[in-house]
């Protein structure tokens, strides 16, 4: 699956798995971070292989980044979800169980798919996993992501429109959310504020805040404490019947 798919501009790489018996399997769209400037490699293919180990098909999207601005990344992500669902029969994927997993700026993009303006209800993912996500451009914004996505002259209204804690609604899919308390790049308040918004809207959310860990750790291989998020997330998938 490549950029030749209709409507797909970003590069989408598939990591499919054989269906279990005759039943199609769930799939997850992986959105690596990189401050809307690049794509972190350790948050890309390694994450897809980990999802494969859980019995899930995976797709890594390298969406457009700067100098492209909003809504280019979101347009790419919506097109990727549509392409996965359209190709589901030949890939052995269940089109009703296509989720999204994003880190940092990719977490912002995942949250945008979950309940952002301009995303039709039919295009939303069924589940969302967000790791140390950029959520707000109104409160404690990550300036690198803000400038890359909206530009240096973004208005207050534009910042609010891109703040995903303000876009949550009762139809937002269930969310698994994790962060570290001493993240120096993206303040943990992003995840706390998002979890509060989800709870207020009645959206199921599982939030984990680990005491220490730098930003951008991905799977956190080699860190016995932070890497616990992968086990918790695997159990969360299982609780939703995705394993």
The confidence score (pLDDT) of residue 22 equals 78
- Lookup: tokens for 136: 């707000």
> What torsion, rounded to 10 degrees, do the Cα atoms 3, 25, 239, 83 define?
20
> In the predicted model, is pLDDT for residue 127 greater than 70?
yes
pLDDT value, residue 17 = 86
For the chain, percent of residues with pLDDT exceeding 70: 95
CA 58 to chain CA centroid, Å, is: 12
Does the structure show a pLDDT above 60 at 24? Answer: yes
| Average pLDDT of the residues in 95-115 | 98
Distances (CA, A) of 119 to 70, 83, 122, 172, 234: 13, 15, 8, 11, 27
User: pLDDT category, 1, cuts 50, 70, 90?
Assistant: low
Q: Is the pLDDT of residue 101 over 90?
A: yes
* Residue 124 reports pLDDT greater than 50: yes
How confident is the model over 137-178, as pLDDT tens digits? Answer: 999 999 999 999 999 999 999 999 999 999 999 999 999 999
Specify the pLDDT at position 7.
Answer: 53
Average of per-residue pLDDT across 202-211: 98
What band does 4 get if pLDDT is binned at 50, 70 and 90?
very low
Phi, psi of 212 (to 5 degrees): -140, 150
Q: How far is CA 61 from CA 56, 77, 105, in A?
A: 16, 7, 13
Which 8-state DSSP code applies to residue 88? H
Q: What average pLDDT does the chain have?
A: 94
Half-sphere exposure of 213 (CA within 13 A, CB side): 26
Residue 3 has pLDDT above 60, yes or no: no
pLDDT band at 10 (very low <50, low <70, confident <90, very high): low
Separation between Cα atoms, residue 191 and residue 172, nearest integer Å: 15
Question: Would you say residue 6 has pLDDT above 50?
Answer: no
Mean pLDDT of the 220-232 span: 97
User: Percentage of the chain with pLDDT > 90?
Assistant: 91
Instruction: Name the strands in the sheet holding 175-180, side by side, starting at the edge strand that comes first in the sequence.
Output: 11-15, 57-62, 25-31, 93-103, 128-131, 175-180, 205-210
Confidence of residue 116 (pLDDT cuts 50, 70, 90): confident
């Amino acid at each position: 699956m490549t950029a030749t798919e209709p409507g797909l501009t970003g590069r989408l790489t598939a990591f499919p798995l054989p269906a279990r018996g005759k039943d199609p399997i769930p799939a997850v769209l992986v959105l690596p971070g990189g401050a809307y400037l690049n794509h972190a490699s350790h948050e890309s293919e390694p994450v897809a292989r980990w999802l494969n180990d859980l019995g899930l098909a995976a797709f890594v999207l390298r969406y457009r980044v700067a100098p492209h601005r909003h809504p280019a990344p979101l347009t790419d992500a919506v097109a990727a979800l549509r392409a996965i669902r359209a190709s589901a029969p030949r890939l052995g994927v269940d089109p009703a169980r296509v989720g999204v997993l994003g880190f940092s700026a990719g977490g912002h993009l995942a949250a945008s798919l979950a309940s952002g303006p301009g995303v039709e209800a039919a295009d939303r993912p069924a589940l969302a996993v967000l790791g140390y996500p950029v959520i707000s451009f109104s409160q404690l914004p990550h300036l690198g992501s803000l400038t890359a996505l909206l530009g240096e002259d973004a208005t207050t209204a534009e910042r609010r429109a891109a703040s995903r804690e303000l876009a949550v609604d009762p139809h937002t899919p269930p969310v698994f959310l994790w962060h570290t308390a001493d993240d120096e790049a993206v303040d943990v308040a992003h995840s706390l504020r998002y979890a509060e918004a989800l709870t207020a809207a009645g959206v199921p959310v599982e939030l984990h805040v680990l005491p220490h860990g730098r930003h951008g750790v991905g799977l956190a291989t080699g860190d016995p404490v932070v890497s616990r998020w992968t086990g918790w997330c695997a159990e969360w998938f299982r609780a939703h019947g995705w394993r």
